[in-house]
Structure 1
């Protein structure tokens, strides 16, 4: 009887040990997966512009549509400041713009360039890993900016000093603080404000609204 009891105790101990080992393996695997996911995602969500904390937040479908509506009737060159995964740049290229993206995050630049090749848009788009504040905008006919509130004063000054007389500015999420918009599309987080640079003559194109 004693021997049977000892055998049962050994069997129970073995089962517990195996269960414990399986638990440790499971924890190790899930922990490893979490670390791997973090390693992949972190470069994409880290700030895209170092001077101001501007995290990568992909534009929504509605935001892209509102930007395209703001660009209706326009042509020429376009730059998206803080281009993220490139979706605004690609959308603009598809409707005829020669579009550039400015982005500091190297992972997002690599992703955008790869996507451009896959979509056959390499001849119409270019992505630069540059600091927004050191990148000159004078050659662009159209500028798109997805900014944060604390940067809009300074970026407005940059627009006024560098953009051409007929350049169009499309500000998303936050308006420019001093310029008067010539049109507004959308509402809430999807709102876009349309401006002409301060040195430009009065804007005469009539924008249609919903």
Structure 2
């Protein structure tokens, strides 16, 4: 009969210990520090911030005709400025990116404008222009290049991609005046014959004077 009395007592003790000793899952949750939750929140917030900043950079690459942001090299900027010497009139950079072409042109005395679809790059360009002291002559606008008319510009700079060059060529033919000059970087226009070419590799720039290719078109 003593054995029959000790079994309930043992079960009772086990049940009491069950309330005291946590299960493996409960133990892992107990061991979690508040710092773990804080770290998780920080990482999650950082990922959201990166997504918010990166989305405008990536989105243009998903368009039918994309104009992705690829920073110009110092040599490219130097070659563009070289082809602008002895030129006058307002300048536009189509797809102005981080604004360095526009800022460099403004330092050379041009009234320069950049059109860029990415708002982050436009705000950054405005800040750089202010920092360089040329914010009065270097302006930047958030706009789709296909919705802008370029007839008021005497100098046009474009860092394009092959897919967009034929369509842009037609647009500029219709809009630009005879005294305008077009400077293409990285990729030439498909049908125009350049008046000047300078640089090598990715730093090459092709220069087209509108009066020249219009003169060729008028010949029999």
Q: TM-score range by the shorter chain?
A: 0.7 to 0.9
Of 113-122 and 190-199, the range deviating more from structure 2: 113-122
Structure whose alpha-carbon radius of gyration is higher:
2
C-alpha distance in 2 between matches for 1:186 and 1:159: 24
Q: CA RMSD in A?
A: 3.2
Q: Identify which of 163, 166, 175 aligns with 1:150.
A: 163
User: After the TM superposition, which parts of structure 1 deviate over 6 Å for at least 4 consecutive aligned residues?
Assistant: 13-16
Q: TM-score, structure 1 length as denominator?
A: 0.78
Of 54, 59, 81, 2:67 maps to: 54
User: Is the aligned partner of 1:125 residue 2:138?
Assistant: yes
Residue in 1 that maps onto 2:114: 101
Look up the match of 1:199. 214
Structure 2 segments unaligned to the other structure (5+ residues): 1-20
**Whose helix proportion is higher, 1 or 2?**
2
* CA deviations over 1:125-174 (Å, ceiling 9, x no partner): 22222221221111211100011101101111112111111211100111
Query: SS at the partner of 1:199?
Result: helix
Cα distance in 1 for residues equivalent to 2:158 and 2:62? 12
User: Is contact 1:183-1:194 (8 Å) kept?
Assistant: yes
Gapped regions of structure 1 (runs ≥ 5) = 1-8, 202-210
1:76-103 Cα distance to aligned partner (Å, 9 max, x none): 2110001122111001100111101112
The 8 Å contact of residues 66 and 164 in structure 2, kept in 1 or not, is answered as no
Q: Distance in 2 between matches of 1:49 and 1:102?
A: 19
| Structure 1 segment 1-210 matched on structure 2, within 5 A | 18=31, 25-47=38-60, 52-197=65-210, 198-199=213-214
d(CA) in 1 for partners of 2:110, 2:196: 20
